Structure formats: structure tokens, C-alpha cells
């Protein structure tokens, strides 16, 4: 057996090696990936954006990236369920740390996020971002579209996020409408899963409401997503409040009547044909969490996103 080490986030010899840190100890990068700003030889980057100034209800998602990283320590580098593989063997992955934001000047935040995401994507092939509130998806989309062109959006969420926007607001409830108006996402091939609120407009995006999810099998939900996106390059954004508060209490705007984590993870598992060009997990607010329930859900969703990429690379 290879000699064991600790603090793999700093001591890793290469970007594909497995960690041997005890679950309860060691530096808490996402899934023990190496912390580095060096992008040479990197396929996939995990990055945190600790921002919550756009929230409309309970703040605290600035602590989301920390909480998700901490919860990810439970993934101990055995073959990851349900992907039956070490995700990183053929997928050199790093934890790029967090975006440096000026907490006293929020008007600079979108440009800062877009600029750094653009830099990451100039060298890496795939960016998985840990939020932060859902406003961050707008500048992230701008960076991804600059590389890949307009994208289909697959959004897991309790909210449509299509509220009024004058193009200047810092608001986590309006980024979708802005993205449609700016041509970042193709509404004809975009879909929202788990919606349990109403907004003034749907922007032409297909909606699967929470009560509809309750009547559908996970495989059928995934099939609907794949049919609607029609093979288009896609951006996958997951607001943790898509899940019922029983499974994700630690979020700013919880809405009752949502799906279980088990059901939505089964949906994600069935999305392996989806051509995902970028992804994020947002709205984890650990101050309202209990026993890390929400952080574990967020970390698991993020791990599934990496699993889908690892499967795609293995084909």
C-alpha cells in the first residue's frame, strides 16, 4: 500500500492522485484536490465565489463555498458512487480557491467574476463554481458563452429568477431574464426543474413545477431534460433550494413542496448524455443548516457534476 500522507490539498504529487487524509482532518479543499492557481495541465477547476449581497431574503451564502468544501471531505477517494470510478484518474482537477471580491463595492463584483472565470476557462476545459447566491451565475454565463457560444440552461431551482431587471441591479432573482435578453442562453432549449413560485414572465423557458416532479420518475425527468436540450451545449446551475427544506434547510429562500435529494441525484445520474460545458451549485447558507444536511447535499450535487464529466471523458 502506498505511503499515506495528510493535507493532500498541499502535498499532492500530481493532479490525479488520490488523497489519504482522515475524513476528520487535513486541509479542506473540495474533495481534497490540490489548492493552486496554476492552470497548466488542468482539465477541471473547482472555484468558490463567496458572495451574498444580491440575496432578497436571508443572507449567508458567502459562507457556502467553505461549507461545501468541508462536507466534501466525506468523499474519501474510493470509487465514487454511483459512477464506480475514481473521478480524477483521467481528469486532472484543482481547487482554485475563492474569488477575491471587494465587500464594499458590489458594483465591481460582476466584472471581477467574469474576468477571473474567463482567465480560468482560457486554460481549463471545465469550471465548476461553488456559490454564493444565484446572481453569480450571470457573470459566469458571460464567461462561458465567450468560450462556447450561447448555451442551453438546465436550472434546478424553486424560483424562476426572471423578475424585473433594469440591467444594473445586483439581484439573485433576475439573472435568468437578463441572460435571455442578452442572448447568453437559448430559451427554446432551456429548462427549469422544481419551480414552486410564480414570476411575471417565463422568458420562453420550459418549466417543470414541483408538483409535477412529485408525479414523475427520476428517469422520466432526465429524459425530458435531454429531449428539451436536444444535444445542445448546456450550462447546469443548481440552486440548493430546488430541494425541499427537509433536505436543504440551510438556504436563504426555502420553499416547501420540493423533491428529495435522492430523487434529484437520480435525475443527475441519468444526465450523462448532456453536453455540460460548465456548472455551479449555489445558495448554500450554512448558518441555517442542521448537522450539515444542506452542505452535504450541495457537496454531493457538485460531486455528481464532476462524475458526469468524468464519465464523458471516459467514453
Query: Which residues are known binding-site members?
Result: 134, 157, 159, 161, 239, 241
Q: Are 56 and 106 in contact (CB under 8 A)?
A: no
Annotated binding site for Mn(2+): 134, 157, 159, 161, 239, 241
Nearest partner of 220 among 271, 156, 260, 273, judged by Cα: 271
Q: Where do runs of H (alpha helix) occur along 24-74?
A: 64-71
The x, y and z cell numbers of residue 103, run together, are 465587500
Burial class (CB within 10 angstroms; exposed 0-12, middle 13-18, buried 19+) of 148: middle
DSSP for 158-227 reads: SS-------S----TTSHHHHHHHTTSB-GGG-EEEEE-S--S--TT-EEEEHHHHHHS-HHHHHHHHHH
Q: How many whole angstroms from its chain centre is CA 268?
A: 12
- CB-based contacts of 149, cutoff 8 Å, min separation 6: 233
User: Order of strands across the sheet with 44-49?
Assistant: 34-35, 93-98, 44-49, 126-131, 276-282, 234-239, 152-156, 191-195, 206-209
Q: Are 255 and 196 in contact (CB under 8 A)?
A: yes
How far is it, in rounded angstroms, from Cα 156 to Cα 310? 21
DSSP for 253-267 reads: S--SS---HHHHHHH
Residues facing 46 on adjacent strands:
95, 128
Amino acid at each position: 500500500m502506498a505511503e499515506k500522507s495528510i493535507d493532500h490539498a498541499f502535498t499532492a504529487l500530481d493532479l490525479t492522485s488520490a488523497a489519504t487524509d482522515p475524513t476528520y482532518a487535513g486541509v479542506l479543499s473540495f474533495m481534497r484536490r490540490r489548492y493552486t492557481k496554476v492552470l497548466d495541465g488542468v482539465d477541471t477547476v473547482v472555484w468558490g465565489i463567496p458572495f451574498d449581497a444580491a440575496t432578497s431574503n436571508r443572507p449567508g451564502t458567502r459562507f457556502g463555498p467553505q461549507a461545501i468544501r468541508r462536507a466534501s471531505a466525506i468523499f474519501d477517494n474510493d470509487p465514487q458512487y454511483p459512477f464506480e470510478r475514481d473521478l480524477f484518474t483521467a481528469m486532472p482537477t484543482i481547487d482554485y480557491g475563492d474569488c477575491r471580491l471587494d465587500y464594499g463595492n458590489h458594483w465591481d463584483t460582476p466584472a471581477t467574476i467574469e474576468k477571473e472565470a474567463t482567465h480560468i476557462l482560457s486554460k481549463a476545459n471545465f469550471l465548476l463554481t461553488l456559490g454564493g447566491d444565484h446572481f453569480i451565475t450571470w457573470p459566469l454565463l458571460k464567461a462561458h458563452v465567450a468560450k462556447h457560444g450561447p448555451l442551453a440552461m438546465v436550472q434546478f431551482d424553486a424560483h424562476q429568477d426572471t423578475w424585473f431587471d433594469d440591467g444594473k441591479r445586483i439581484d439573485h432573482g433576475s439573472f435568468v431574464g437578463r441572460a435571455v435578453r442578452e442572448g447568453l442562453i437559448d430559451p427554446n432549449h432551456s429548462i427549469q426543474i422544481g419551480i414552486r413560485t410564480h414570476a411575471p414572465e417565463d422568458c420562453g423557458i420550459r418549466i417543470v413545477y414541483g408538483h409535477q416532479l412529485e408525479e414523475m420518475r427520476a428517469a422520466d425527468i432526465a429524459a425530458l431534460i435531454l429531449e428539451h436540450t436536444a444535444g445542445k451545449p448546456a450550462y447546469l446551475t443548481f440552486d440548493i433550494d430546488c430541494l425541499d427544506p427537509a433536505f436543504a434547510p440551510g438556504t436563504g429562500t426555502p420553499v416547501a413542496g420540493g423533491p428529495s435529494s435522492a430523487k434529484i441525484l437520480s435525475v443527475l445520474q441519468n444526465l450523462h448524455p448532456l453536453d455540460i460545458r460548465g456548472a455551479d451549485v449555489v445558495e448554500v447558507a450554512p448558518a441555517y443548516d442542521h448537522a450539515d444536511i444542506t452542505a452535504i447535499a450541495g457537496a454531493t450535487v457538485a460531486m455528481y457534476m464532476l462524475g458526469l464529466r468524468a464519465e464523458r471523458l471516459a467514453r
